[in-house]
Amino acid sequence: MSSSIATPISSQANALHRKHAAAQVARSARRTSSSGIWVGVFAITMSFAAFTSALVVREGTTDWSHLVLPPILYVNTAFILASSATLEIARRFLRVSIEPRKAGAWVGLTLLLGVAFCFGQYRGWLDLRAQGIYLATNPNSSFFYVLTFMHALHVLAGLVALAYLAYRLSGSKKNFRWGIFANAAIYWHFMAVLWVYLLLLCRAEL
Amino acid sequence: MQEGSVQEAHVHAPPEGFIRKYVFSLDHKVIGKQYYALALVAVFTGMILSWLMRLHMVWPNSKIPLLEMFSKNGAPGGVMTPEYYLSLLTMHGTLMVFFVLTNAPFAAFGNYFLPIQIGAEDMAFPRFNMMSFWTTFAAWVVLMLAFFIPDGPPIAGWTEYTPLSAVGKDAGPGMAWGASLWGISIAIFCVASLLGALNFIATTLDLRAKGMTLMRMPLCTWAWFVTSCIALLAFAVLFPACILLILDRHAGTSFFIPSGLVISDRLQPHAGGSPLLWQHLFWFFGHPEVYIAILPSMGIVSHILVNSMRKPLLSAKVVIYSMMSIGFLSYMVWGHHMFVSGMNPMSSLAFSFPTLTITIPATVLTLIWLGSLYGANIQTNSASLFALGFISMFVAGGVSGFFLAQPSIDIYLHATYFVVGHFHLVMGVASLFGVFAGTYFWFPKMTGRMMSETLGKLHFWITFVGAYCIFMPFHYLGLIGNVRRYQSFVDDFMAPYIGWHKFVTFAALITGAGQFLFLFNLIYSRFKGKPAPENPWNATSLEWSIPSPPPWNNFGGKHPIVYHDPYQYGVNGSKGDFVMQDSPEQVVPASGD
């Protein structure tokens, strides 16, 4: 096996070589595995597919009224989509050069928006309760509460991951590992996509 | 994919202290043994339950000693009530399918050997792994609690069909807290299995050693990998089903309960649900589950047979593709459990086609095993005997499946003993034969000692003959109309055939007693067995290149390099008629092919 030794012929070529090498190191440092998180995303998708099929394929009697979704759900949608945007802005501060403090601030904002989403969802449940619509009131409401609750449960797990990420970013540059950011980001974006899907499903079927 | 990614396993320091070493261990080997121990307890419990069932079935009015002490409501005066028979039946099925057949071949052996066979130091997520086992253990504890509550375990069968399982105590004894404990236990089990499957998949994709391409993995590793893919999707569906069931039982929802249902003369306060929905959700999990039970044993048996035959299978690639096809097709056939449920007959047809199709890869596998065995000079030992026995049991149980796959025949045979004979042979016994084969094969590696060959062979013959004596008559009994899940038939049209049932009961008791030979062999050999060499079977895969038992980090900090596939047998190797997978020596075929 032969090895090639680069011999730059000028200092300019040297500098260029160093820049490429640095970019390559940055890329290889990002070559961590996300298999685990994708497998997890796949499993959660399958679970919600089961809930969806339970909803779509139900054969019970259909003499219950259409469920009007509380308007705050749309505000919550804006929150969670905004949180995905802020997470991507955080990624910008980690792309070529690692600036953990700035990235950490944007991750913190993502976390706050996520918390706002959860509070908003709770507000939505309270709104329904004020109308006398509880978990067992009718099959429509049962599905609504189950779907939104299960989603919120997974969002809570995502908040824990974001909190851990923010903590890691508050440390030094050397402490930072790409895997934590990449995997937390995949999971968080998945939560947003899943919410949009559930919102559309509830609008269509309930 | 040429090799694994640059990801290192999240390696942990060597364990210190009793708790870290043997209780809350991060070591996949300890976790594998813990799963095995749990499966061992569950299988003996399930076996004793089956003895109780069989005794009651042929002597319904007999007093069974100690049973009243165990359950006053279930066996007043020692005589089992019909409802308690159903409780025992439910727990037998639940324990066996979940805690034995999912745990032993998949979680136990897979956890122990998958990382070693791919050349890794541990699983990808050792902490998740530890959580997986202890969550499974928690699920088992919750399930076993059902025995000790006054009302007893649920009577709805391991399939817990709605609406009876969803309405609560009106459905009968054990259907109040017993059924709730079942639902909670299985929900916990789902979470544990999902974590385990995730670990297996991530480990297989990411942590393979240099040179270990996917196609160079041993067949049992492939089986564990395909099984974990199936398990990931299957348990992800059972979990929501259990959640919905628990909500129906405790939160007043009506996912599975229709309106106007009257049970025990009481109108149930529910409306709008669909009982058939549970069957769809359950069997969407339930059918892949039976392939989760059998695939690892197929892999283990293939692995052991190659070693015993001293020559590779006709085509390892075809075996791998067949296992993948079985995994894929297993998701299309769930409706064949529901042919008589009242669903559209066109749906029955749609499910019947893939059911018959899935017999193709299963047959291909069988033909490859048999074809490879042709002309082979097989070394018989306990492991290879059980591996051969696996093929026998799998075929014997599998052929009855061809009949059940056709709706017209299944209408008659559904819920008869024909089905009971089918699934016990093809899933229960065959899978356990794979576990036994794996135990005899890998015991030297896991403990550094050999098991007794004499006891092993005796165990094999008792189990092999006994299993046929127990389950073959069931096919005939089913054909003449013997219904399943009935606690007794002494007074009805089956009365002339009670002699058959008595024969089966005796066979069950004797075969079960034979399993204590195995248990004795296991425990005695662990402490007093002959010390085992590093590679007692002259085998080639990576687990045989490390000491017996392996050190905490498997390869002693080294990273093995793999040069070829793991089935180089019948060649002129430096150590004999084989070349180990991590040996760079050139492979020269012994015969001119």
CATH number of the domain residue B360 falls in: 1.20.210.10
Query: CB distance B201–A39 less than 8 Å?
Result: yes
Which residue of A32, A38, A59 to mutate against B (max B Cβ within 10 Å)?
A59
* Residue B294: CA count within 13 A, CB half-sphere: 26
Minimum CA–CA partner of B278 in chain A: A54
In a domain, B396, yes or no: yes
Query: CB distance B206–A35 less than 8 Å?
Result: yes
Query: Mind telling me how many Å the CA of B231 is from chain A's nearest CA?
Result: 10
Interface membership of B245 toward A (CB under 8 Å): no
Domain at A33-205: CATH code = 1.20.120.80
Q: Across the interface, which of B206, B232, B277 has its CB nearest the CB of A43? A: B232
Q: d(Cα B168, Cα B162) in Å, to the nearest integer?
A: 10
In a domain, B353, yes or no: yes
Query: CB distance B198–A40 less than 8 Å?
Result: yes
Query: Mind telling me how many Å the CA of B247 is from chain A's nearest CA?
Result: 9
Query: CB distance B243–A146 less than 8 Å?
Result: yes
What residue ranges do the domains of chain A occupy?
Answer: 33-205
In a domain, B556, yes or no: no
In a domain, B236, yes or no: yes
In a domain, B551, yes or no: no
User: Looking at the 3D structure of chain B, how many domains does it have?
Assistant: 1
Residues of B in contact with A146 (CB under 8 A): 243-244, 247
Q: How many CB atoms lie within 10 A of CB A66?
A: 8
According to the 3-state scheme, what is the secondary structure of B73-119?
CCCHHHCCCHHHHHHHHHHHHHHHHHHHHHHHHHHHHHHHHHHHHCC
Interface membership of B123 toward A (CB under 8 Å): no
Interface membership of B460 toward A (CB under 8 Å): no
Interface membership of B254 toward A (CB under 8 Å): yes
* Residue B150: CA count within 13 A, CB half-sphere: 1
Contact B246, B180 (CB under 8 A): yes
Task: Enumerate chain A positions whose Cβ falls within 8 A of a Cβ in B.
Answer: 28, 31-33, 35-36, 39-40, 42-44, 46-51, 53-54, 57-62, 64, 135-136, 138-139, 142, 146, 150, 179
Q: d(Cα B193, Cα B325) in Å, to the nearest integer?
A: 22
Q: Across the interface, which of B125, B239, B281 has its CB nearest the CB of A36? A: B125
Interface membership of B198 toward A (CB under 8 Å): yes
Chain B, residues 279-298, CB within 8 A of chain A, namely 280-281, 284
Query: Mind telling me how many Å the CA of A136 is from chain B's nearest CA?
Result: 4
Contact B26, B129 (CB under 8 A): yes
Contact B209, B285 (CB under 8 A): no
Residues of A in contact with B284 (CB under 8 A): 50
Q: How many CB pairs under 8 A join A and B?
A: 111
* ipTM given for this complex: 0.92
pLDDT per residue, tens digit, chain B (593 aa), is 333 444 454 566 787 888 888 899 999 999 999 999 999 999 999 999 999 999 999 999 999 988 998 898 999 999 999 999 999 999 999 999 999 999 999 999 999 999 999 999 999 999 999 999 999 999 999 999 999 999 999 999 999 999 999 999 999 999 999 999 999 999 999 999 999 999 999 999 999 999 999 999 999 999 999 999 999 999 999 999 999 999 999 999 999 999 899 999 999 999 889 999 999 999 999 999 999 999 999 999 999 999 999 999 999 999 999 999 999 999 999 999 999 999 899 999 999 999 999 999 999 999 999 999 999 999 999 999 999 999 999 999 999 999 999 999 999 999 999 999 999 999 999 999 999 999 999 999 999 999 999 999 999 999 999 999 999 999 999 999 999 999 988 778 888 999 999 999 999 999 999 999 999 999 999 999 999 999 999 999 999 999 999 999 999 989 999 999 999 999 988 889 999 999 998 775 554 33
In a domain, B10, yes or no: no
* Length of chain A in terms of residues written: 206
Query: CB distance B239–A39 less than 8 Å?
Result: no
Name the residue range of residue B349's domain. Answer: 31-257+269-545
In a domain, B499, yes or no: yes
First to last CA, chain B: 29
Query: Mind telling me how many Å the CA of A111 is from chain B's nearest CA?
Result: 24
